[in-house]
Amino acid sequence: MCEKAMIMSLPEEDLTCPVCCDIFTDPVLLSCSHSFCRTCLKRCWETGLRECPVCRRRAQKSSPLSNLALKNICEALLQVRNQSAEAVKDKMSCSLHGERLKLFCLVDKEPICVVCQFSKLHTDHSCSPLEEAVLDCKDELALSLKVLKDKLDSLKRIQQTSADMAKYIKSQAADTQKLIRSQFEQLHQMLCQEESDILAAVKQEEEEKITGMKDRMKELSAEVLALAEMVSDIQEHLKEEDMELLMNFKAIDERSKSVAVGSDNMSGLLIDMTKHLCNLKYRVWEKMLDHIDYTPVTLDPNTAHPCLILSDNLTSLHYSRQPSCCPDNPERFHMSAEVVAMSPLGSGSHHWVVETGSNQDWLLGVASSSVPRDVEVSARPENGFWTLCFRDGEFRAMTSPPTPLTLTQTGTPKQIKVQLDYNRGTVSFSDHADDSEIFTFSHTFTETLLPYFYTQSSEPLRILPEKVLVTMLRQ
């Protein structure tokens, strides 16, 4: 193979006779070092002048010496050419019938001859000329290559998001532990054991989530490597000769289409801060009855828009023009300054009170758990929202279209009570100060709901705690 490659690499002009401009046949060597075919030189000398046809130097001998080295090289070159021609001919011929391959079976995706077309194997199959098939196959492979490259880019983006989430999980775990310590300090040393248990739960979840993320990132790395190799493989095949490409097309095509990409579902990967912080003091009320605050609604920070700032105890929110650094997880509202609470609300009656204070731009109410988080939609019932809006000094119930509300009491309510009766299908808003009704929605609910909040004001909205009463039953 090395000798064949060396012969084929020689410049053809060095092996070409200057007279006939073809590969030397029985070459002879003149004293001037120029070589010619013996018959070509003989014809030139028939004119009577025995001189070199190239440099016109007079030949010293009437019978020049044979150039054996050049003869051997030229014969080897012609032999290699003949072998290559035979190989191409074999490749272009049907292995079953010996006929020239002129067609491409669109069903079996392989080159066939005219005899094959009428055989039992292909008699009902659609075929196309090889020239058309080459173009079609190249187009199809180019499309597959584009799809694979898009999948590769998508996987790389998911991989980067996963890496960002892994860092954010550590930050969340640290923040959660800090907040837990702060609350436990208020409960004094008698709660040390309880504090230790909850911190251990956070640490365990952090390790589980980090371990899960590392495993996922390893899987993504493996998928990225596999796709990259597939892309490289197809690119190499596209450089092949047409017939070789067609011969390999079926296997390449099936392999490229069999590549499966892992799920890009990123839900539920972050630390569940609410699970550790929600009603923390209430959970230990038996030890600290005098210090219990129970908040019926706790905000879910994993759903908060980056421009919303939540309090450490997850019971108040306000708007900031400087977005926070948080991952682009699926649970999060991406388009407007919204957040929902953690606990889904189903059958039964539920209520909570929100202190609006000086906030002049807010929406309060409930939203279906399935409302979209990555597109901006109006907070109206047809979109899964039942809300009360206060903006530009006016109250509006967000019906379709919105209903302007005129309040009979003096002044603007500073505390709004939201009450959901799931079974009766009502969402009511009232002034908590005198319990006067503002507006009531009626609807037949079919899925769980979540307390919903929106604001673009730097003034906070605060969920008010409720006093816990404990009654001891004595027998």
pLDDT in tens, 400-451: 999 999 887 666 899 999 999 999 999 999 999 888 999 999 999 999 999 9
Tens-digit pLDDT string for the chain (475 aa): 455 556 656 777 778 999 898 889 889 988 888 899 988 988 888 877 788 888 888 877 667 888 888 888 888 888 887 777 666 655 677 877 767 878 888 888 888 887 787 787 787 888 888 888 888 888 888 999 999 999 999 899 888 888 888 888 998 899 899 888 887 777 676 767 777 888 898 999 999 989 988 888 888 888 888 888 888 888 888 888 888 888 888 888 877 777 666 666 677 788 888 888 888 777 766 667 766 678 999 999 999 999 999 999 999 999 999 988 888 888 999 889 999 999 899 999 999 999 999 999 999 999 999 999 988 899 999 999 999 999 988 999 999 999 999 887 666 899 999 999 999 999 999 999 888 999 999 999 999 999 999 999 999 999 999 876 766 566 6
Nearest to 360 by CA among 320, 407, 393: 393
pLDDT tens-digit map of 79-99: 887 777 666 655 677 877 767
Is there a contact between 349 and 422 (Cβ–Cβ < 8 Å)?
A: yes
Looking at 12-101, which runs of residues are DSSP E strands?
Answer: 27-29, 35-37, 65-66
- Single-letter amino acid, residue 89: K
Tokens at 232, concatenated:
């490289």
pLDDT tens-digit map of 118-139: 787 787 888 888 888 888 888 8
Distance CA 30, CA 25 (A): 15
Distance CA 101, CA 110 (A): 10
Mean pLDDT computed over every residue of the chain: 85
pLDDT tens-digit map of 328-368: 888 999 889 999 999 899 999 999 999 999 999 999 999 99
Helical pair 68-91 and 2-9, crossing angle rounded to 10 deg: 110
